[in-house]
Amino acid sequence: MKTVLSLLLVLLLGLTVSAAPRASASNYRQITMQEAVEMMATEENYIILDVRTEAEYESGHIPGAICIPNETIGTADIPGLPDKDQLILVYCRSGNRSKQASGKLAALGYTNIVEFGGINAWPGEIVAK
């Protein structure tokens, strides 16, 4: 009987721990490219963040985007992104680096990050610098 009670207590404890909310560095939303296009048409005061290299950015980027390469996002505040509550729409070439950068931004305390994949699927205008 004591063994059964111990087993039930362990199971109950396991359920309680697994149901508890977890803090995560991936506190960002992922949306489709079409949702990003719609968001850019309806929202105000947002930043479009290109996290590719400077050379990739200069070869062609979404109009109005700023470039902060994923590799430069670390543990320090980012001068180009002073408002941690501002809507930040993040993209890269294919979607991999934008996910990495979005996780890093969340870990730095940015609260309104939306990752929408890669410029490869961008249906709109692209400008070169």
Show which residues are catalytic.
92
CA distance 127 to 8: 62
Assigned token pair, 27: 């506190």
CA distance 97 to 91: 8
- The contacts found for 32-35 with CB under 8 angstroms, 24 or more apart, are 32/116, 32/117, 33/116, 33/117, 33/121, 33/122, 33/123, 34/123, 35/116
Phi, psi of 115 (to 5 degrees): -100, 130
- CA neighbor of 108 nearest in space, from 66, 80, 67: 80
